[in-house]
Amino acid sequence: MTTAPTMLNLLRFRARTLPVAIASSIGLLLAGVAITQANLPVWGGTLMFLGAIAVPVALKFRDDLVIWGAAACMLSGLLLLQGFHTLEHIVQLVQFYLLNRPPVDSQGLISSLNVEWVHFIWNWTVWGMVVYLMRNGMKSIWTYPFFAWMTLHSFEHTYMLLNYLHVSAELGQLNLPQFGSAQVLPGILGRDGWLANNLAFCRSIPGLSTLPRVAIHFYWNIGEMTLLLLAAREALPKMVKTAELRSTAKV
């Protein structure tokens, strides 16, 4: 019988710590040189780094799969990816508020992926993963608020994608190229968003319809990450047990 992991155990690289550390060092070094010496954009350097650590990190997930089963492995991956995603939003916030950069230069570490299609696919993929996890034991008092939160977040990205497609079609009719600013149209919440345009009284509520997109999505992700951690912590032992029972039943 496998001992149920704690959250920290799940997130640790364990036997893969040294390969990940070496790959990270090489990745950081190469990315740093490429950015500072070869004028590679930050997003290019970030992709180099992610490429360098891809193999040892993938091996860590294979370990998770073998030890604790598919659900825990997926949860582990989700925590890591969503954690990086949240870090991306923190960087955006720092760029915007602390470094006082304009929105077009406050797009995080992988700015070229800061496009509506990526946000849309990312959020609904995460949504799909969560549905899978819920069907495989991730059920706790925190799971349902987490699920509701991320569903609403995904709807916001759907609304933004539809707006983007609408504007893109209009730009196409005008024979105009697709502009970067079309990617940063407001959503349902935030400054100039649907709520602000359709329910004027909301404009006086601080935050809800006054914050810029960069801050709104920071809060969406901070909320999502917090609820995910709480749900995962609560449900992890049950998930491992469910996986064990299933494998026992198969045997």
Partner 1 sequence: MKKHIAKVIATTVTTSLLLIGVVVVQSQSSDSSRVTVAIRSKNSLLMAKTTCAAGFLEHRLTHTTKARDEQRAVFDSNGSGVAVADLDDDGLSDVVLGNLADNVSLLWNQGDFRFAKKNLVNRLDIAEQNTRAVAVVDVNADTKLDIVFTHTAGAITVWYNQGKRQFVQATLEGVNVPAYTMLWDDVDNDGDLDLVTSSYDALLEAEQKDSFMLTGGAGTVLYTNNAGVFTANRLTKSAQTLALLMFDMNQDGQRDLIIGNDFADPDTYWLNSKTGFSTTQPFKRITKNTMGFSSADIDNNGTFELFATDMKPKFDNLETIAKWMPFMERTYQKLQYKSLQRAENVLQTWTGNGYQNMAYEQNIDATGWSWSAQFGDLDNDGFQDLYIVNGMIDKENLKYLVNNELIEKNQTYRNYRGTFQKESTWNLDTQASGRGMVMADLNNDGRLDIVINNLETPAQIFENQICNGDSLEIHLAWSQVKNTKALGAILKLYTSAGIMQRELLNQSGYLSSNDTKLHFGFNKGTTLEKLEVHWSDGAISTLEKPQANSLLEITRDGGQ
Q: Is 182 in the site for partner 1 (CB under 8 A)?
A: yes
Task: Return the number of the residue (83 or 212) whose C-beta is nearest partner 1.
Answer: 212
By the rule CB under 8 A, 101 interacts with partner 1: yes
Q: How many CB atoms lie within 10 A of CB 22?
A: 13
Q: What is the CA radius of gyration of the chain?
A: 20
CB atoms within 10 A of CB 212: 17
Give Dmax over CA atoms of the chain in angstroms: 65
Q: Which of 31, 53, 186, 232 binds partner 1 (CB under 8 A)?
A: 186
Compute the least distance from the CB of residue 221 to partner 1, in Å. Answer: 19
Q: Would you say 129 or 182 has its CB closer to partner 1?
A: 182
Fill in the DSSP letter of residue 209. T
Q: Under rule CB under 8 A, which residues in 158-177 are in contact with partner 1?
A: 163, 166-167, 170-171, 174-176
Q: Which residue lies nearer to partner 1 by CB, 39 or 100? A: 100
d(CA 161, CA 119): 9
Contact between 31 and 45 (Cβ < 8 Å): yes
Q: CA-to-CA distance for 148 and 162, rounded, in angstroms?
A: 21
Binding site for partner 1 (CB under 8 A): 96-97, 100-104, 163, 166-167, 170-171, 174-176, 179-182, 185-186, 191-194, 196-198, 200, 203-204, 210, 212
